[in-house]
Each structure stands twice: as structure tokens, then as C-alpha cells.
Amino acid sequence: MSDNKINRKDFIKGAAIGIGGATIAAMGLYSYSPMRKSHFKAKTRKLQDFGVCKSIKVTNISETSWFDNATLMGDIKKAGGLLVNQYEYNWPPFGNGKGLGKGSYSEGIEKIKHLLPNRLDEAWEIIKKNCINIDNAGGFAALVEIEELDGKKRKFLLDSGWSYKWMDECFKREGIDKMLANGEIEALIISHEHFDHFWGLPVTLKYKPDITIYIPEGFYSEGLSYIKDSGHRGKLIINKAGLTKMTPGFGLYNFNVPIICRVFGEQSMFFNIKDKGLVSVTGCCHQGIIQFCDTAYKELKYDNDKLHGIYGGLHISPFEDWDPKYDDLVISLGNYGFEKIGCNHCTGLLCAKKFIERGYPVVQGTARFRTKDKSYLGNGDVISFGV
């Protein structure tokens, strides 16, 4: 009887090329599939319209979050790893003098609270005594200028860095201090609660204590207290997961993901530039480029249905790693067809260099103000979209 049978393995190998083809369809193999319950409905693209703007310009105030990665990682590792609460490291400004991994928000803020936000130099002297690796602290902050269709310009500050000392220097270098003081900057957007983006908050408040602040949902109690304790007197708006429409063509998207050092939630900026397409501006982009682009594709409506530009930390997140093919950022990024790419140092120097080698439209920097390489946009560098 065996000669009237085809071995399953042989059949599969032989038929593999023609799935859905006539041979198989004729076998009636599909017949039992309909009885299987459908586990989910195929999702369709449901696009949210958040308007359109003419152009944007991003000035990198500081993207040197810290100066030496080995020192930072050594601190994190010795304090207990990537899940340890960031307020416990004893990093500036929340030092209690007890050493690495033994800090606390309440003990740290107690020592400097009375000096915030105006007497930052004095505060920094106290911080020096109580914190570890003070000179490694830098910070991330960027100025985003949006030009609306009628030519009206609006300014937003994205993040406020980390070290009071370094950030104040950077703010002065780029004239942010004056823009804040004379009310040119509409609001401060904090991308996430991380030390290098958020702990320099008093530097912004020193010049504009009543500025409106947007944070993503998920801040811990320490972070919420810090906003008050820093002397904030303006509006605080907490953005829920998903899209928050800001101004025409400008939206914030909160990816409600847990991040290292016990932080929850990161919001990124999306812009719809007239006749060009979508532009995104991120700090670290912890959620990773794949999540980021796919979310935009699935949820946002933008001109030309085209991902036009991106600026920020471009990398594959640690949660995108079972398929080596997609783990290669250089290849993945190529698939999205961006017309203008600006990397910050989070992207990785070699990666940025590979983008350039491959002929991707990368805007290069000037390597000034302690930025190490021209392959990425560093401190004081500018990138524009739609102009």
C-alpha cells in the first residue's frame, strides 16, 4: 500500500513554493478553517488628523546627556542594575551624601529646595558635596520652532537637561534664557522622567517659573513633587497614552512603555509638514525606531502619506531582537524611505557613519561644544524640515 502514498515531508518541500496554489486548494484542506474561532479582527489603519504646518526648525541646545558612558554604566551597575529607581543613585541634584545607590528624593531635595529655582549656583555647591560623579552630568534639551501655514512662528522647549551648571551654560549659549524670560517660548515639553531630560528643570524655571509644562502620564511621585519643589507656578498638563494634538501640524505621542531606571512613558513629537510628510523629533526614542514608525503609519494622517524626516536617537529597541534581519538598523531605516535624517549621539557613531556610507540623507553636525563627532548633530547644531 505504500506506493500509493506521498510522504508528508516530501509533499511539503515540493509544494512549499506554491502556497495557496491550485494543488492545495483542490485538496479541500481549507474546509475546516472556518470553524476555528477568529481570534482577532484584522486591524485597519485608523488615521488621526492633527493638522498641518509649514516648516520646523530644531536647535540642539545640548544632547550630551552625560560625558562618559563607562562612568554612567558603572554607577548603574554598581547601584543594582537597570531597574533601580533613578532617585536612589545619589546623582546630582538629589544627593544625601550617603553614596552610590543610597540616595532618596526627599533627603536630596531637602538640601536644595530653598534655593530653587533662582539660586542655582548656590544649590550646585551643595550638590557637589552630596552627590557622586557630578561632572559626568550633562543633559538633553532642544528648541523646536514651528512655522504655521500663515507664517506665524511658535517656539517650544523639548526637555530641560540634567546638570544645572551645564544646562545654564548651554541655555545662555543658544539664547534660551532670554527667549524664556521674554515669553517667546510657549511651553516646556518633558519627553520622559529620566535624569538627563528632566532633572535640569529648575534651569528653565529660573527664567520662566510660570511656563506651561507637558509631561507624559506615568511620572512617579518623586517626579511630580520635583516639579512643585523646583518652584513651578504655571500649568502642568499630563498627556495620556496615544496622541495629544498641540498646535496645527504638531502632536505629541505618548508611548506608555516602561523604561530603564524605573521610568514609565515617553512622549515624542510628530509634525505634519505641508506637501512633505511626517517629521518626528525624539529625545532618546526608547521605544525604538520600528515601534515609532509603525505607530505613525497606523495612527496618524500626514501629507503625501510619506515619512519625510526624523531627528533623534535612532536605534533598535532591546525589544525588537529575535530576528537578526530586522535587528540591523541600517537596513531597517532604509526601508522607511526618509528624505532627511538627523541622528543624535544615542544613535551610535558607527551606525551614523554607516547611514552616511549607504548614502542615506543624513544631515551632519559641526562637532562643537564638547560634541565628539560630525556624523551626528551635536550641541548647537540645527536641523530644519520643510524649508
Partner 1 sequence: MKIERIFPSGRAPQKAKDLQIILKNIITLINYQPVIRTQLNWAGTFRIPQKNEAWTFKIKGFKGIFAISHNRSLTKASYVVLFDLFYFPEKDEEIAEKFSIKAELHANSTNYTEMIRKFTEHPNFASLFYIGELALQFNPHTQALSIGINAVSEDVVIAKNGIKIEKNGQEKYLLYPGEKEQSIPSFYLSSAVLNIIASSMCFLVDAKPFAINMKKIATTVTEISDGKIKKVKSKESLHRIFLNIVFGKDNNEIFFLSPTKKSEIIEEKTWTIKDETIPEGFFFFTFFKTPPVQNISPIDKNLLGINSKPPMFIVTGFLGAGKTTFIKQVLEFKRQKYHFGVVIQNEIGEVGLDENIIDSECKVISMDEGCVCCSLAGNLRKGIKKILNEFIPDFVILETTGVANPLNILAEIDALCDIVAFDSVITIVDALNFEKSTTEFVIARDQIAAADIIIINKIDCIEDEELKKIKASIQKINDKAIIETSEFGHVNNGLFFIDDKLHQNKKKLITLRAKSHVHEKIASLTIKDMPSIELNDFIKKFNNVPTGILRMKGLLQFKGEDNPMLVQYVSGKYEISKWDTDFNETFLVIIGKEEDLSEAKRILLS
Q: Which of residues 262-291 bind partner 1 (CB under 8 A)?
A: 264-265, 290-291
Cell of 378: 551635536
Q: Which of 61, 84, 213, 362 binds partner 1 (CB under 8 A)?
A: 84
CB under 8 A: which stretch of 6-14, 51-59, 91-99, 159-167 binds partner 1?
6-14
Interface of this chain with partner 1, residues 28 to 57, rule: CB under 8 A: 28-33, 35-43
Q: Which of 135, 145, 328, 339 binds partner 1 (CB under 8 A)?
A: 328
Interactions with partner 1, residue window 146-175 (CB under 8 A): none
Q: For residue 167, how many C-alpha atoms fall within 13 Å in the half-sphere facing its CB?
A: 34
Helix (H) / strand (E) containing 254: strand 250-259
- Of 233, 230, 234, the C-alpha closest to 123 is 230
Stretch that binds partner 1, among 54-62, 66-74, 227-235, 268-276 (CB under 8 A): 66-74
Decide: 272 and 237 in contact? Cβ < 8 Å.
Answer: no
Residue showing cell 538627563: 196
Task: Count the neighbouring beta carbons within 10 Å of the beta carbon of residue 78.
Answer: 12
> Which CB, 70 or 387, lies closer to partner 1?
70
The least distance separating partner 1 from the CB of residue 175, rounded to whole angstroms, comes to 28
Strand bridging mode 307-312 / 277-281: parallel
The CA dihedral of 148, 149, 150, 152, to the nearest 10 degrees, is 10
User: At closest approach, how far in Å is the CB of 40 from partner 1?
Assistant: 6
Choosing from 56, 127, 316, 341, the residue that interacts with partner 1 (CB under 8 A) is 316
3-class DSSP state for residue 215?
Answer: strand
Closer Cβ to partner 1, 152 or 358, answer by number: 358
Residue of 149, 181, 237, 350 that binds partner 1 (CB under 8 A): 350
Q: Interface residues for partner 1 in 200-229 (CB under 8 A)? A: 218-221
Residue 192 found at the interface with partner 1 (CB under 8 A):
no
Would you count residue 80 as binding partner 1 (CB under 8 A)?
yes
Question: Of residues 298, 304, 361, 366, which one binds partner 1 by CB under 8 A?
Answer: 298
Q: Please, are residues 191 and 158 in contact by the beta-carbon 8 Å criterion?
A: yes
Least gap, CB of 62 to partner 1 (angstroms): 17
Strand order in the sheet with 153-158: 236-239, 212-216, 185-189, 153-158, 141-147, 55-62, 382-385
Site for partner 1 in 232-261 (CB under 8 A): 242, 256-258, 260
Contacts for 59 with CB less than 8 Å, ≥ 6 apart? 142, 143, 145, 174, 380, 381, 382
Rounded distance between C-alpha atoms, residue 72 and residue 156, angstroms: 29
Among 48, 49, 68, 304, binds partner 1 (CB under 8 A): 68
**Residue 99 touches partner 1, criterion: CB under 8 A:** no
